[in-house]
Structure 1
Amino acid sequence: MDLKKVLIIEDEKSISDIIKFNLIKEGFEVETSYDGKDGLNKAETLNPDLILLDVMLPMLDGFQVCKKVRQTSSVPILMLTAKEEEVDKVLGLELGADDYITKPFGMRELVARIKANIRRTDLIDKLKKEPSNIKDFGTLAIDLNRYEVRKNDLPLELTLREFELLKYLAERENKVFSREQLLEEVWGYEYYGDIRTVDVTVRRLREKLEDDSSDPKYIMTKRGIGYYFRRP
């Protein structure tokens, strides 16, 4: 069986080395890079199964790398952020990162996050081989098996997290879920981030789904509670 490949883009060699050591011990193939420019090049040429991406990097910072990778690839991106910099977490998610973990972090948690994100991608690859299973909402069509969304018959480019959130809500029309419930159900493990993760993902989804994201027709807010999907 082919080993799963993780690309670590982290300029602090001591941190990179200890992550690499632990991931190899867990059965991963690991590539490393110490600056954003080289990391972007390796992301484009090595076809990793997951990218572990630090925010603060020389040459290109993590945000720039994330944005450029997302233009051509849906590879899971797990960002490393400084504990006190909440804005880093939100911006990373805005740019298409799938997940983040704050420094300092426990190696067990990091490995669990990496495995969870790769398992999710493997499941989607398997589902994409299944027959279509389309939920039709008029101008919006969601293929639940193939992880594809079309609006007015044109494909929409969603990240994995965006699609999973949309799928979860669309399969449960008109049922309201709190942010905490969505973190637990959609993100799929005990989540150590804050609930703004859900707000950011909803905002990104609305920008792609809605004619006017400030006046949504699909993903609705229940003030003081959370979100729900409504058939227009």
Structure 2
Amino acid sequence: MSKSTSQVKHILLIDDDKEFAELLTEYLACENIKVTACLDGASGLAKAFDDCFDLILLDVMMPVLNGFEVLKALGGNHKIPILMLTARGDDNDKILGLELGADDYLAKPFKHRELLARINAIFRRIAIVKNQNTTAINEPTEQLIINQVRINQATREIFCQNKLLELTGTEYLVLVYMLKHHGKILSKAEISEQVLQRKLSPYDRTVDVHVGNVRRKLLAIDPIDKIKTVRGAGYVFLQGEQ
């Protein structure tokens, strides 16, 4: 396996399985990815506030603080993407993790190549955001305002009725994509491929939960729902009064 010539990425792994952490560190080093491992939730949480990481891999079942408690402590509006590692593919664990602010999840046991594919999908997402920010800085007057929701891509901020929305990185990308395609039905498969950078899997509720989180945060500011669910088809961000 050859090393990539691209810039080294840095991952924070929070998992109490020491053998797994050592194996993963060795495997990802071959992919030009550095791993800093913490073997309990408390030490992992302390590290998670550092700005030096590109991604956090967070296990659910851990001593001191479990993965859900770490997510709650981070507050659900973090900018570093979080990939949850859930035991036995428990759907309740997956949904709860996403609702608490995780960006994606992967059920144990998994193959290293499968984890690498998820990691690379998240890195592609990060690259999209950086490209959008560069474009916005070069064109600072370009702002999109739809149905009282305003994007400032130069600062990577979204406002509803001039109040700042506290979003995770993935929620930000989901809402930006919906705003840019307002009035159009967007299928879950399209949102997954264009925003999550991976194909939608059967029974995968990741898109549903992210859209639900965005809708809930919008409704907390404006009680008029801006996102319509089209049963069997997807979601529409409503244009509002013209």
TM-score for both structures, normalised by structure 1: 0.89
Distance 2:101 2:177 in 1: 19
Contact kept? 2:81, 2:170, Cα under 8 Å:
no
Q: State which of 4, 22, 26 in structure 2 corresponds to 1:21.
A: 26
- Equivalent pairs, count: 231
CA distance in 2, matches of 1:78, 1:18: 18
Please report how far the alpha carbon of residue 168 of structure 1 lies from its aligned counterpart in structure 2 after TM superposition. 1.6
Structure 2 residue corresponding to 1:168, chosen from 159, 169, 177:
177
Q: CA deviation at 1:122?
A: 3.6
- Measured against aligned partners, the alpha-carbon deviations of 1:121-141 in whole angstroms (never above 9, x if no partner) come to 243234324234311125321
In the alignment, does 2:30 pair up with 1:36?
no
Counterpart of 2:10 in structure 1 is 5
Q: Which moved more, 1:180-189 or 1:58-67?
A: 180-189
Q: Which residue of 2 aligns with 1:186?
A: 195
Contact 2:14 2:41 (8 Å CA) reproduced? yes
2:98 is the alignment partner of 1:98:
no
CA deviation string 1:139-171 (max 9, x = no partner): 321235643211222221111221221122222
Give yes or no for contact 1:76–1:118 (8 Å, CA) kept in 2.
Answer: no
Cα distance change, pair 14–65 in 1 and its aligned pair in 2 (3 A) = same
Secondary structure of 2:13's aligned partner: strand
> 1:109 is aligned with what amino acid?
E
**Corresponding position: 1:54 with 2:37:** no
The superposition leaves residues 84-140 of structure 1 with CA deviations (integer Å, 9 ceiling, x where unpaired) of: 411111011001111111111111121121122123224323432423431112532
From 201, 209, 227, the equivalent of 2:218 is 209
Q: Structure 1 230/138 Cα, relative in aligned 2: closer, same or farther at 3 Å?
A: closer
Secondary structure, in 3 states, of the residue corresponding to 1:29? strand
* TM-fit CA distance, 1:175: 1.4
- Supply the AA of the counterpart residue of 1:31: T
Q: What SS does the aligned partner of 2:183 have?
A: coil
In structure 2, list runs of 5 or more residues that go unmatched.
1-5
Give the CA deviation at 1:216: 4.8
2:107 counterpart of 1:114:
no
Aligned-CA RMSD value: 2.3
Q: 1:195, CA displacement in angstroms?
A: 3.5
Residue number in structure 1 paired with 2:236: 228
Question: Which runs of no fewer than 5 residues in structure 1 stay unpaired?
Answer: none
Tell me if 1:156 matches 2:161.
no
Percentage identity across aligned positions?
Answer: 38
